[in-house]
Amino acid sequence: MLSSAEKLFRALLSAEPNFSHIDALAPFQPMAARVFHFPIDTRSNHQAASHLLNSIRPRKLVVPPSYTRPPTAAPHRTDLKLKTVSWQKFRNVWSS
C-alpha cells in the first residue's frame, strides 16, 4: 500500500487523441497513480514538441534515440529532432 505522499508523485500522462484513456486504463484498475489526459495535436512538429517539453520540464523523459538526432537520410535537417536542453535526461531503453 502506498502512502499519500508516494501517490502524490506517481502519475501517468495520456497524450493519445484518438482513444479514450479511461478505456485504455480500465484493465489496470485500481491504479496507484494520478492520470492526466492531454491529447496532443498530431499535426504538431518537432519544434512544437520541443517547446512543450521545455514548458513542462518533466523530471524524466523516455524517447527513442532517433528522436534526438536528425534523420539519417537528411542529416542536415536538424529541425527534425527534439531540441534537448540541460535539464532533460534521456534514457535509452531500446538498447537494453
pLDDT digits (tens, 9 = 90+) for 4-26: 666 567 777 788 888 888 888 88
Tell me the H-state helices in 1-96. 4-8, 21-25, 46-56
Taking 50 as the threshold, does the pLDDT of residue 96 lie above it?
no
pLDDT digits (tens, 9 = 90+) for 47-93: 888 888 888 877 777 778 888 889 999 999 988 888 866 544 445 55
DSSP 8-state secondary structure symbol assigned to residue 90: B
Tell if the pTM clears 0.85, that is, is over it. Answer: no
**Cell numbers that stand for 22 in this block:** 479511461
